[in-house]
Amino acid sequence: MRLKDHSVPLQYQSVMRVNAPIGEGVNFRVDHHIVQMLSNFHRMSHEEPYKHLVFQKVIKMRLFPFTLKDKAKEWFRAREQDLNSWGEMETTFLKKFYSVGRTNAVRKAIRDFNQGP
């Protein structure tokens, strides 16, 4: 970062973007207060990259319940004590809400892929 970048308030600084698979028409916004709470990794010799990744997964686990509403939130509350990692969360969530029929439809679309005119 340049020195002048530090003089600009965080909410006005440009943000580097990562191409995340977010669907069309989805309004996704991260409040700058949340970003300020996240840990930083500077690539210093004393920092542990694996601990940084684990920390990010812990943040996801903590924030995930706030993204659920209605029946999905009830489903989560009944199982939250059994979910100990982000991997378990992903697997359990997808088993419940991404049906076998939907999986098969995607597989069929991939298998039957043809080049158009």
Q: Note whether residue 22 is domain-resident.
A: yes
Residue 46 structural domain: 3-111
Q: Note whether residue 35 is domain-resident.
A: yes
Neighbours of 106 (CB within 10 A): 11
Q: C-alpha angle with apex 63: 59 to 64, nearest 5 degrees?
A: 115
In total, how many domains does the chain have? Answer: 1
Q: Note whether residue 116 is domain-resident.
A: no
Q: Which of 15, 37, 39 is nearest to 5 (CA)?
A: 15
- Any idea what DSSP says for residue 22? P
Tokens read off for 63: 């924030």
Give residue-wise pLDDT tens across range 13-49: 444 444 555 667 777 677 777 777 777 788 888 888 8
Q: Note whether residue 43 is domain-resident.
A: yes
Q: C-alpha angle with apex 62: 50 to 95, nearest 5 degrees?
A: 90
Q: Note whether residue 14 is domain-resident.
A: yes
50 has pLDDT over 60: yes
Q: How confident is the model at residue 69 (pLDDT cuts 50, 70, 90)?
A: very high
Residue type at position 116: G
With beta carbons less than 8 A apart as the criterion, state whether 96 and 75 touch.
Answer: yes
Q: Note whether residue 20 is domain-resident.
A: yes
Q: Note whether residue 65 is domain-resident.
A: yes
Q: Note whether residue 96 is domain-resident.
A: yes
